Amino acid sequence: MMMTIAQRELKTLFLSPLAWSILAVLQFILAYLFLSQVETFNAFQARLAGIDNGPGLSDIVVTPLFGNAAIILLLVTPLLTMRLVSEERRNKTLSLLLSAPVNGGEIIAGKYLGILGLLLMIVALICLMPLSLLLGGELDLGKLFCNILALSLLLASFAAVGLYMSCIANHPTLAAVGSFGLLLLLWILDWTAGVNGQSSEVFAYLSILQHFQNLQSGLLASSDVLYFILFSATFITLSIRRLEYDRLQK
């Protein structure tokens, strides 16, 4: 049943013009940024060749590409997740879904896997750009893998937050605004960590940006991977509890 819900969600997303529009705009913007970074590398290639252990294609093109993709998807993901549950509630179909012989965990897992499938397709499309550089240059494949992993884990976290906000909001627009606000707060949380020379290890650890950048740098630490897994699991659990609460209210 879980996979049936996931397939239905993914199919619904692709039947929506919103998903296609977002994919097209996203690819256009990222392709422009990617080509700009390639042009910058070509302009400084001669100087970089004379520097010992100087930055290469991976540092100048790949890492900024995935960093820019993360920022743009911070804005885009709430638009893709906003209707997951709140649309069902608004269309009065949530009660039908809750009365079906399927538990809340399977419903939430199905909807999460559906949106995660679309987000991983976006990651796959983004990967085609740096991989095209292998035709005429050399890449640090280890750093490329870390960037792919970092963006995939980040989007899994974004999807979990968006799903939870969709569970508690009565309208998709409210879910999108709530998701964006919470993700932005978690993104900039470590900005206050060093204000006035006072560091906050708690804020620094909770900051989603810091863990993302750690992975992006090529340092594959289990603590950063575990952070994203626990982050996603927490919001998925909250979503299940919220759906079970709705079931009890029926």
Mean pLDDT calculated for residue range 141-170:
94
Statement: residue 102 has pLDDT above 60: yes
pLDDT > 70 fraction of the chain, expressed in percent and rounded:
96
pLDDT > 90 fraction of the chain, expressed in percent and rounded:
50
Instruction: Give the model confidence (pLDDT) of 1-44 as tens digits.
Output: 788 888 888 888 888 888 888 889 999 999 999 999 999 888 88
Instruction: Give the model confidence (pLDDT) of 53-97 as tens digits.
Output: 777 788 889 999 999 999 999 999 999 999 888 888 888 787 777
- Pick from 190, 31, 234, 250: which is nearest to 125 by CA? 31
Instruction: Give the model confidence (pLDDT) of 209-218 as tens digits.
Output: 889 999 998 8
Count CA within 13 A, CB hemisphere, residue 98. 19
pTM of full prediction above 0.85: yes
Contacts by residues 225-229 (CB-CB < 8 Å, ≥ 24 positions apart): 225/149, 225/153, 228/153, 228/154, 228/156, 228/157, 229/153
- Pick from 208, 162, 165: which is nearest to 185 by CA? 208
